[in-house]
Amino acid sequence: MNITTRTPSPLRLLARETGWQIRLYLRDRAATFFTFAFPLLVLFFWSRQSWQDVLSATAFVAALALAMASYAGLAMGIASAREVGLLKRLRSTPLPMVVHIAARVGACVLLGTFALGLTLGLGAFWLGLSLSLSNFAGLLPGLVLGFAALGSWGLVVGSLVRTASAASYLVNATLFPLFLLPVAVQRGMLPEWAAALASLLPLQNLALLIQTALKGDGVLLQPLLILLCWAVLGAAVAARRLSRPL
């Protein structure tokens, strides 16, 4: 008697793998804290500072929450999988590598969107930030390109290091300066050349797009183009790195 097995469709495989990746992410207490709780603590602290307005603080912290899920989450996830040899073993299974990577990206997109909602919710209900549903449509272009830019470079970082601890060091060494530089620029603490350089970084442009959308001023073209350049370059490097055995 012949027994045939039906291979699930790629979309079903992607949905199942995305669900598993979300569960694995939420089981990591450190990742859960830094993605959901840490941005809220930063926002609450910033809102108590006399020099910081609620809208600007919420936009910057919302960008940080997205970066935690996309950049840090993907970098740590890929590095952890590489450390235990999971990516090598996957090549001998029916699960295509592209589906596995796409599931990781999809999981981080969903978790980052939830973290964004928590940040905006705290800004609205606790800090008195005025939000309008009509302004949320303006968030979409910035969020898509922001996820693409930060997520693609998260994949690059994860593919460059061999251990999760090394990825943690590299993420911390790059992410928090990217977050603090716009703050220094806003307070006039940097020289002009450093401020000009900081204006080309992805996190500052993502925060600017979020702030502009929440104000109802539409979408700014220049920050979108900067994020697009980061996304295209990151995707090209990530595709090249992940196409090789890790």
Instruction: Assign 95 a pLDDT band (cuts: 50, 70, 90).
Output: confident
The pTM of the whole model exceeds 0.85: yes
SS (H, E, C) the chain: CCCCCCCCCHHHHHHHHHHHHHHHHHHCHHHHHHHHHHHHHHHHHHHCCCCCCHHHHHHHHHHHHHHHHHHHHHHHHHHHHHHCCHHHHHCCCCCCHHHHHHHHHHHHHHHHHHHHHHHHHHHHHCCCCCCCHHHHHHHHHHHHHHHHHHHHHHHHHHHHCCCHHHHHHHHHHHHHHHHHHHHHHHCCCCCHHHHHHHCCCHHHHHHHHHHHHHHCCCCCHHHHHHHHHHHHHHHHHHHHHHCCCC
Task: Write down the pLDDT at residue 5.
Answer: 57
**Residue 1 pLDDT > 50:** no
Using one digit for the tens of pLDDT, what is the confidence trace for 146-175? 999 999 999 999 999 988 888 988 998 888
pLDDT in tens, 24-63: 999 999 889 999 999 999 888 877 765 567 888 888 899 9
pLDDT higher than 80, residue 182: no
Average pLDDT rounded to a whole number, residues 115-134: 83
pLDDT of residue 51: 52
